[in-house]
Structure 1
């Protein structure tokens, strides 16, 4: 078998291990998944009428259409926190050190974590999206190509955040620290255009919300699903953030994993 074939085989083995681990311990994923679902229900049914009135006098259905794309990306941020915790557990329990001594492709260990996390993120997004559809979200104006582009953006965004989460898990001394280090991945959507438009934010804060990773991705996803104007800047920034974070997380994770094991 070629080197590439061995790498693929070992990666699939690690992916199977991580998926089995997630199936045996579903409570972590469910707890992280409840955050975006509860926020969706809270903002729609408690604040929906007030928020929609402040955004131009629409009704609750208009605000559902506005808020769901942001919650889909927030779901990814919540899901990858579990990846950071899982990687940290593997480090502190000595499993990573054991894998280093085995005759397997070294990159397959963390790549298996990444692929497994992306798959879990996509499934989580589907579940939250189903909740959104159940309470009234509709995407009637999106074409097949726009749906495919939206799916591609979600996968790309999940890959970027997952590599960052893997790096956080590798450098964290324990699972609690990994969870705390990954908390910004949940908090950043709250400081974006996920719940209110940029125009409604204070002028001093608007640049922070506008140029952070979540806002361009949210505006791009919103445009693809709702048929609204995306803007070249948002699309370019969204892809640039995804590619930049992916490269940064990959290099950080590989460099950290290849260091000597912790003593």
Structure 2
């Protein structure tokens, strides 16, 4: 087993390296930061006209956070897939680096990007749209838990996908589907009954539920939601690790 000091040094190096890669190509990250603000600004009047100023603003903010954070699965998924396509992941695994160090090196920049995106949306809503959370601590807990879920799910997609096109389809279609089923864009109360039945299988449902609970200051509902989101993230991360261990990270021949 590597010594703790050696592990910390290698992990820190990998994190810095991956942050540098993000800085060199900031376009994808910037688009995930700017587009949600445009979407929220343009769509909020529709929600407020239908639901009233307070409820409409909350629906618009929750829908924007959940939808665009799911679309941002590309941040963590692409980080893994790019290494696999370049065959560098296998070389890194064959070196002295431990698999946990490799995952951490990829996870930290993606986790920071996901948190920044969500904080930017909520900060914008608070500064310009009048959003006033009842409990900022509960809101932060939901954002952290949801980011863990997104990180685990994005990592799993990056491990399973065989090409950039396949990954793109997964997070575009999957992101919109999970967001819609979760009641983020449209309240579940106005959707067909079958959507309400299947909604809890979507991580987007729990993210939206947790955001609404934290904005209202509901501690019990927030804690329950955070536990579910964290469990989902851990399950996805373990599935990704087992996939790499059991079958390797090499692409299946098309």
- How big is the shift at 1:4? 2.9
Say if 2:77 and 2:156, in contact at 8 Å, map to a contact too: yes
Maintained 8 Å contact 2:63/2:184: yes
Whole-angstrom distance in 2 between the partners of 1:21 and 1:157: 24
Structure-to-structure mapping, 1:1-263, within 5 angstroms: 3-45=3-45, 47-52=46-51, 58=52, 60-139=53-132, 142=134, 146-183=135-172, 184-227=174-217, 232=221, 235-236=223-224, 238-258=225-245, 259-262=247-250
TM-score normalised to structure 2 length? 0.85
What is the deviation of 1:253? 1.9
Measure, in 2, the Cα distance between the counterparts of 1:207 and 1:83: 30
Could you tell me which runs of 5 or more consecutive residues in structure 2 were left unpaired when the two chains were aligned.
none
The superposition leaves residues 205-236 of structure 1 with CA deviations (integer Å, 9 ceiling, x where unpaired) of 21223452222332222222234x5764x752
Bigger drift between 169-178 and 68-77 goes to 68-77
2: distance between equivalents of 1:231 and 1:204?
A: 27
> Within 2, Cα distance between the matches of 1:50 and 1:208?
28
Q: Select between 19-28 and 123-132 the one with higher mean Cα deviation.
A: 123-132
Deviates more, 1:251-260 or 1:160-169: 251-260
Partner secondary structure for residue 72 of structure 2: helix
Give the number of the structure whose residues are more often helix, by fraction.
2
Aligned-partner Cα distance in 1 for 2:7–2:232: 24
Gapped runs of 5+ residues in structure 1?
53-57
RMSD between superposed Cα atoms in Å = 2.5
CA deviation string 1:111-144 (max 9, x = no partner) = 221122111111111222233234313216x2xx
Structure 1 residue 37, shift from structure 2 partner: 2.8
Q: Specify whether residues 262 and 213 from structure 1 end up closer, same or farther in structure 2 by C-alpha distance, changes over 3 A only.
A: closer
Q: Structure 1's 42 and 192: CA in aligned 2 closer, same or farther, altered over 3 A? A: farther
Shift in Å at residue 261 of structure 1? Answer: 4.7
Classify 1:114/1:186 alpha carbon distance in 2 versus 1 (closer, same or farther; 3 Å): farther
How far apart are the structure 2 equivalents of 1:5 and 1:160? 29
1:138 aligned counterpart, secondary structure: coil
How far is the alpha carbon of 1:240 from its aligned partner? Answer: 4.2
Q: Secondary structure at the match of 1:36?
A: helix
State how far apart, in whole Å, the 1-side matches of 2:113 and 2:95 are: 27
Q: Which whole-Å deviations, capped at 9, do the CAs of 1:145-190 have from their partners, x for residues lacking one? A: x312221221111112211211211222222212222231343112
Number of aligned pairs?
A: 249
Instruction: For residues 39-59 of structure 1, give each alpha carbon's deviation from its aligned partner in whole angstroms, at most 9, with x where no partner exists.
Output: 3223213x234422xxxxx2x
